[in-house]
């Protein structure tokens, strides 16, 4: 895949899917900007080269988002790839969910995706007439959550499902808006994947065609395709990487 010397911003890069995405991009020669609330030291140790920028802060903060994009452009001159990956997931049901729980998931998963997209596209990707935006959504945003546990308590909550459904809708809207500028926007929708968010959740893998939990690298490999120049004719797509749980 053609990615060498591209510049990529990856949110949630300290661990899990974000870490796997950053590492796989670095192996393709991409300069990676690691964005997280927590230290990205563990990710940095796995990178294939030393061309990276670490930006630590709250992605729900508009000023932090702008500062991250500005630091990226100051160091590398341009932005080719944006991976909106960082997320939170409350598993409370609609009866017990608080307004704070709701706002946290919506602000982290959807609002931050909007803010990073806006800041990267205008003016940088638009002026360059090139860009690859990949949003990590979830099958929860399509089917309302993967059932887990005998009583269903492990299912992701309504705020998570709503936020990821919003990410999917935003992906399609942005794809239509930015296609004329040679900017694509796609989404990867993971199913059950081994990350901090899913630790301890009792997924019923018998429901899947592929009877194992996914890995961050499974998701990162899909991101890698959408980030490449070879994906120039793919936009507004939602690629489910879920072991086949969404077949029927």
- List of domains in the chain: 7-241 (3.40.50.720)
Predicted TM-score (pTM) of this structure:
0.96
Residues 75, 52: Cα–Cα separation, whole Å: 10
Q: What is the pLDDT of residue 201?
A: 82
* Short-list 205, 223, 226, CA closest to 214: 205
Pick the residue with more confidence: 187 or 199?
Answer: 187
The residue-averaged pLDDT of 70-95 equals 96
Please state, as a whole number, how many other Cβ atoms lie within 10 Å of the Cβ of residue 138: 29
Query: Which of 20-24, 84-88, 126-130, 243-247 has the weakest average pLDDT?
Result: 243-247
Q: What is the pLDDT of residue 151?
A: 57
Q: What is the pLDDT of residue 150?
A: 58
Query: What does pLDDT average to over the chain?
Result: 94
Q: Cβ(141)–Cβ(165) under 8 Å? A: yes
Contact residues for 111 (Cβ-Cβ < 8 A; gap 6+): 60
Q: How would you class 50 by CB atoms within 10 Å of its CB: exposed for 0-12, middle for 13-18, buried for 19 or more?
A: exposed
Q: What is the pLDDT of residue 61?
A: 98
* Short-list 48, 11, 6, 24, CA closest to 216: 24
The residue-averaged pLDDT of 53-76 equals 98
Residue 43, SS3?
helix
Side-chain-side CA neighbours of 55 within 13 Å: the count stands at: 25
Q: What percent of the chain has pLDDT over 70?
A: 96
Residues 223, 6: Cα–Cα separation, whole Å: 14
Helix-, strand-, coil-residue percentages of the chain, each rounded to 5: 45, 15, 40
The residue-averaged pLDDT of 61-77 equals 98
Residue 152 has pLDDT above 60, yes or no: no
Residue 136 has pLDDT above 70, yes or no: yes
Pick the residue with more confidence: 238 or 92?
Answer: 238
Query: Which of 44-53, 83-92, 118-127, 146-155 has the weakest average pLDDT?
Result: 146-155
Q: What is the pLDDT of residue 77?
A: 98
- To the query of whether residue 160 is one of the catalytic residues in this protein, the response is yes
Residue 28 has pLDDT above 60, yes or no: yes
Residue 149 has pLDDT above 70, yes or no: no
Residue 153 has pLDDT above 70, yes or no: no
From 52, 130, 160, 203, the catalytic residue: 160
């Amino acid at each position: 895949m053609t990615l060498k010397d591209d510049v990529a911003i990856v949110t949630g890069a300290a661990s899990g899917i974000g870490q796997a995405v950053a590492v796989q991009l670095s192996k393709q020669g991409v300069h990676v900007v690691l964005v997280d609330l927590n230290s990205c030291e563990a990710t940095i140790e796995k990178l294939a080269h030393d061309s990276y920028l670490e930006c630590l802060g709250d992605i729900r903060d508009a000023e932090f988002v702008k500062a991250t994009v500005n630091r990226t452009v100051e160091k590398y001159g341009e932005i080719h790839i944006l991976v909106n990956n960082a997320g939170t997931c409350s598993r409370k049901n609609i009866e017990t969910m608080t307004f704070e729980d709701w706002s946290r998931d919506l602000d982290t998963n959807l609002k931050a995706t909007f803010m990073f997209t806006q800041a990267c596209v205008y003016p940088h990707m638009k002026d360059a007439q090139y860009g690859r935006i990949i949003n990590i959504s979830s099958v929860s945003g399509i089917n309302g959550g993967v059932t887990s546990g005998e009583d269903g308590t492990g299912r992701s909550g309504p705020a998570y499902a709503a936020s990821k459904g919003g990410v999917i809708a935003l992906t399609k809207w942005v794809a239509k808006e930015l296609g004329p500028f040679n900017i694509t926007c796609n989404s990867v929708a993971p199913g059950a994947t081994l990350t901090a968010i899913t630790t301890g959740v009792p997924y019923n893998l018998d429901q899947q065609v592929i009877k194992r939990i996914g890995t961050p690298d499974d998701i990162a490999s899909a991101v890698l395709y959408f980030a490449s120049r070879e994906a120039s004719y793919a936009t507004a797509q939602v690629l489910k990487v879920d072991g086949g749980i969404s077949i029927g």
